[in-house]
Amino acid sequence: MGMTPESATAVAHPNFALSKYWGKRPGPGNFPAVPSLSVTVAGMSTRTMVRFSDELGADELVLNGVPTHGEPLRRVGLLLDRVRSLGAEKRRACVVTSNDFPTASGLASSASGFAALALGATQAARLELTLSQVSDLARRSSASAARSLFGGFVELPAGPEIPDADAELSARPLAPATHLDLRILVCVTSEEEKGTGSTLGMRTTAERSPYYGAWLDAAPRLHGALREALLARDFQRIGELAEASAMAMHASALAAGIVYFRGATLDVLAEVRALRRRGVPAYATVDAGPHVKVLVPTPDVDAARRALGAISGVLRLIEARVGEGASVVAREGACAS
Ligand code: DP6
């Protein structure tokens, strides 16, 4: 290996959970307390270049063109440390990453970000891992990122009940992108960074919510039913269960004082119900931010766009299709510098 810098560039897409991951197993290892099921989206992406080099005294991070320190660099460094512990590459790395959608606003930038980083870093370090092992690596940084390695409809099981930091837990594909003819309308209600990150939001929910136990009880049942509905391609049932999972997650968080909804969020949720009364099968899901993702069958997308786009609090609409998993787009050896 010697003195030559080695680099790789990977692209990954966000995923939106239909059945939500909210809450971790106690103990080490970042294991989810509940199973989750997501859809990987096309049309939004994170692109990450990782380059190991002798010339660096410390890991570096450039996020959307800006050299970044503090917590984001610390989390990137922890993933790079794991990569360095797995193989012969021991040098520091420079990570250059950018999103073509707002960062840290509940649009799942940590999912696509850590998926692209895990794939780019393991490729740059010339590790020969399966996609499942890369998913496990991404999961240790951000559990939702484990799902973005795969395309289509993806499941991440709950972690082991007995804490074991070394246990492997990866996401797995359930159905390909072509399984269901679906569009997701992302109703962007704010361009600011979100208030409470999901890691802190779930910790606070676990510590303070009187309904956290009820969430842990309900989530696996909602997940199992959603999985069945998905495999049966029952769109209405998928939508109802996805909305139920999101509302149960937010109910548990709200009871701990963790509020992601804003006025515009509620306006979109009301319009989604109004669409259903008018016969348009639209269903909503909300993550750890104020935006609403609306699921709609492809033939109904124009009707849904018109109604949602007319809401004053909706700054813009992003129309996403079901997309593919993460991929390596470039790899350079000896002559990179
Ligand atoms: C609401 O994966 O961001 O989007 O593992 O602590 O990094 P960490 O949490 P993260 O949580 C995502 C929460 C969610 C629901 C989901 O994606 O399943």
Instruction: Please state which of the ranges 103-107, 249-253, 267-271 shows the lowest mean pLDDT.
Output: 103-107
- Whether 39 lines ligand 1, by a CB cut-off of 6 Å, is no
pLDDT tier for residue 96 given thresholds of 50, 70 and 90: very high
pLDDT at 335: 43
Q: Ligand 1 centroid vs 143 CA: distance in angstroms?
A: 6
Q: Pick from 137, 131, 133, 98: which is nearest to 118 by CA?
A: 137
Is residue 154 within 8 Å of residue 176, measured between CB atoms? no
- Whether 158 lines ligand 1, by a CB cut-off of 6 Å, is no
pLDDT at 336: 39
The length of the chain, given as a count of residues: 337
Q: What is the mean pLDDT of residues 321-334?
A: 90
Q: Is the pLDDT of residue 293 over 80?
A: yes
CA 300 to chain centre: 26
Q: Is the pLDDT of residue 307 over 50?
A: yes
In whole angstroms, how large is the CA radius of gyration of the chain?
Answer: 20
Q: Is the pLDDT of residue 13 over 70?
A: yes
- Residue-wise pLDDT for 148-180, tens only, equals 999 999 999 999 998 788 899 999 999 999 999
pLDDT at 165: 85
Q: Is the pLDDT of residue 103 over 80?
A: no
Using alpha carbons, list the distances in angstroms from residue 173 to 108, 176, 218: 18, 7, 23
Q: Is the pLDDT of residue 194 over 70?
A: no
Q: Ligand 1 centroid vs 32 CA: distance in angstroms?
A: 9
pLDDT tier for residue 104 given thresholds of 50, 70 and 90: very low
Q: Ligand 1 centroid vs 95 CA: distance in angstroms?
A: 22
- What is the number of the ligand 1 atom nearest to the C-alpha of 106? 4
pLDDT at 255: 98
Q: Ligand 1 centroid vs 71 CA: distance in angstroms?
A: 17
Q: Ligand 1 centroid vs 198 CA: distance in angstroms?
A: 6
Question: Percent of the chain beyond pLDDT 90?
Answer: 88
Q: Ligand 1 centroid vs 295 CA: distance in angstroms?
A: 19
According to DSSP, the residues that pair with 15 across neighbouring strands are 40
Out of 76, 144, 203, mutate this one to test ligand 1's pocket (max ligand atoms within 8 Å of CB): namely 144
Q: Is the pLDDT of residue 136 over 70?
A: yes
pLDDT tier for residue 191 given thresholds of 50, 70 and 90: confident
Q: Is the pLDDT of residue 230 over 80?
A: yes
Higher pLDDT, 158 or 337: 158
Higher pLDDT, 336 or 150: 150
Q: Ligand 1 centroid vs 21 CA: distance in angstroms?
A: 6
- Residue-wise pLDDT for 258-285, tens only, equals 999 999 999 999 999 999 999 999 999 9
- Whether 36 lines ligand 1, by a CB cut-off of 6 Å, is yes
pLDDT tier for residue 106 given thresholds of 50, 70 and 90: low
Out of 79, 198, 199, 291, mutate this one to test ligand 1's pocket (max ligand atoms within 8 Å of CB): namely 198
The CA distance from 239 to 112, in Å, is 23
The CA distance from 333 to 158, in Å, is 38
Using alpha carbons, list the distances in angstroms from residue 8 to 31, 96, 133, 261, 330: 28, 11, 18, 38, 6
The CA distance from 47 to 188, in Å, is 21
Residue-averaged pLDDT of the chain: 94
Q: Pick from 252, 256, 228, 251: which is nearest to 240 by CA?
A: 228
- Residue-wise pLDDT for 43-73, tens only, equals 889 999 999 999 999 999 999 999 999 999 9
pTM above 0.85, yes or no: yes
- Whether 156 lines ligand 1, by a CB cut-off of 6 Å, is no
